[in-house]
Amino acid sequence: MCEVSITPRAVDEQFRALPLAALADAALAAARAAGADYADLRVHRLVQQTIRLRDGRVEAITDSTDLGFAVRVIVDGTWGFASHADLSADAAAEVARRAVTVATTLRALNREEVLLADEPVHRDVHWVSDYGIDPFEVPTPEKTALLLDYSERLSAADGVDHVTAHVLQVKEQTYFADTAGSSITQQRVRVYPLLEAITVDPTAGAFETMRTLAAPAARGWEYLTGEDGVWDWTGELARIPEWLAEKVKAPTVDPGPADLVIDPTNLWLTIHESIGHATEYDRAIGYESAYAGTSFATPDKLGTLRYGTPIMHVTGDRTEPYGLATVGYDDEGVAGQRWDLIRDGVLVGYQLDRAFAPRLGLDRSNGCSYADSAHHVPIQRMANVSLQPDPEHDTSTDELISRVENGIYVVGDKSWSIDMQRYNFQFTGQRFFRIRNGRLAGQLRDVAYQATTTDFWGSMEAVGGPSTWVLGGAFNCGKAQPGQVAAVGHGCPSVLVRGVNILNTRSEAGR
């Protein structure tokens, strides 16, 4: 398959034509005059379109645009924040003064002075993510027709009773300026396609599903057509009915310890929950706990906590090509970076923003600040958190399977559960294949694997090589109150994990 060429793009003229510099000048000058020690302005525009089909019919097409600006200030070590939708210089100045009033009012309640880690000035810089075809330049009927074609391929197969299809497309544009002199304009595009086949047993009142495993990605429309050569839509759509039919007839799993070979299409979510959230510094110190809890990986364990086996190398990365969390600069004007979170199986780092870096004794943030709207405060959010492949041997997934005498090969994510400290968890998947004597021997049903974080990663015997590494992720990682949503990426190879506890979800549910 021939790959579409990707040429560098500029930020859309529609966004650049907004009075960005005038807003910054007015807001920052007003903030200084009102007594702010530091101030920044962020203009945020989020354009989204969702197309949903069910059984070959359009169920919904929704378009939305969110546009506004926010001003953050620090006054005597206390944050202040305000936002508005009116992009005028007068409104920017008034919002800046309001932010100062907020900080001044809260100062009496503040028990810890805000100190920001230094960051070089990034003056008049532009950054645009890599994509070939802007999905918002493709006519909606053309996009709908492609989803219809894919749906009809599934519907035509025996045993498929219903088909759902959807694609979410996002274009995110930001402008950032601060009193240090940085001014940054950025644009990101991402897409999330999904098709699911459903079979129904009306006699038993039961149903089963099988869906595509193409991950959401920071790519353009070429990802859905297959023109970029990244995902084989034709091959996968042809096999889904076959996998679904086999799954319906598959025997239920016997619970107990088992060796697992876990595909990247499943493992990314385990990484997200047990490593990504656990190494967010605000969770680790208890600053963030309301939405999804804190973390067992507290700072007193930094440099000593044995997270997993010595082959475990996990990085945080804001620069990974096509990563959902990839940016040129975060929402505090910090340039994208790559760093170690777990090295040789030991916890060695956290994800940080400019306010948290000094608390850990670091001179610089690693660029993990993000807000999903102009009307939300930037908070510390997840980078692309990825398990690195074997750097010396390009071990294939088949080779990992060949090492297992009696186990299970896990493919695709489906549901998960993890405790408030990111420690005790269980995960299911899309497809589970029995492994017998180093070979796949048909599917199993009703499988979930259960472990604690350190036991699971401490049982990882082998990681696959670079050829097995896949970049996955999610569009909808939730955090904070009021809740915010962020797109996060996770790359990983296939892995071999020994002696993991397997649950039978049917018997656990009492059926």
In whole angstroms, give the CA distance from residue 248 to residue 41: 55
Q: Where are the alpha helices (DSSP H) in 107-175?
A: 140-155
Q: How many CB atoms lie within 10 A of CB 69?
A: 27
What does the alpha-carbon distance between residue 78 and residue 115 come to, in Å, rounded to a whole number?
A: 9
pTM confidence score: 0.95
The two structure tokens encoding residue 327:
């940016």
CA–CA separation, 127 vs 243, rounded Å? 42
Sign of CA dihedral 307, 310, 316, 322: negative
Total number of residues shown for the chain:
511
Residuewise pLDDT in 10s, the chain (511 residues): 344 455 678 999 999 999 999 999 999 999 999 999 999 999 999 999 999 999 999 999 999 999 999 999 999 999 999 999 999 999 999 999 999 999 999 999 999 999 999 999 999 999 999 999 999 999 999 999 999 999 999 999 999 999 999 999 999 999 999 999 999 999 999 999 999 999 998 877 788 999 999 999 999 999 999 999 999 999 999 999 999 999 999 999 999 999 999 999 999 999 999 999 999 999 999 988 877 789 999 999 999 999 999 999 999 999 999 999 999 999 999 999 999 999 999 999 999 999 999 999 999 999 999 999 999 999 999 999 999 999 999 999 999 999 999 999 999 999 889 999 999 999 999 999 999 999 999 999 999 999 999 999 999 999 999 999 999 999 999 998 889 999 999 999 999 999 999 999 998 876 5
Q: Are 483 and 505 in contact (CB under 8 A)?
A: no
Cross-strand pairs, 177: 41, 183
CB of 363 within 8 A of CB of 333? no
Task: Report the SS3 class of residue 265.
Answer: helix
Instruction: Please state the three-class secondary structure of 45-61 as a single string.
Output: EEEEEEEEEECCEEEEE
C-alpha to C-alpha distance for 439 and 421, rounded to whole angstroms: 37
Q: What is the DSSP letter of 108?
A: G
The whole-angstrom separation of Cα 18 and Cα 12 is 11
Q: Which helix (H) or strand (E) holds 451?
A: strand 447-452
Residue 184: CB atoms within 10 Å: 24
CB of 324 within 8 A of CB of 488?
yes
Measure the CA–CA gap between 333 and 329, rounded to whole angstroms: 5
Q: According to the model, what pLDDT value does residue 201 have? A: 86
d(Cα 495, Cα 309) in Å, to the nearest integer? 12
Domains of the chain: 13-249 (3.30.2290.10), 256-508 (no CATH)
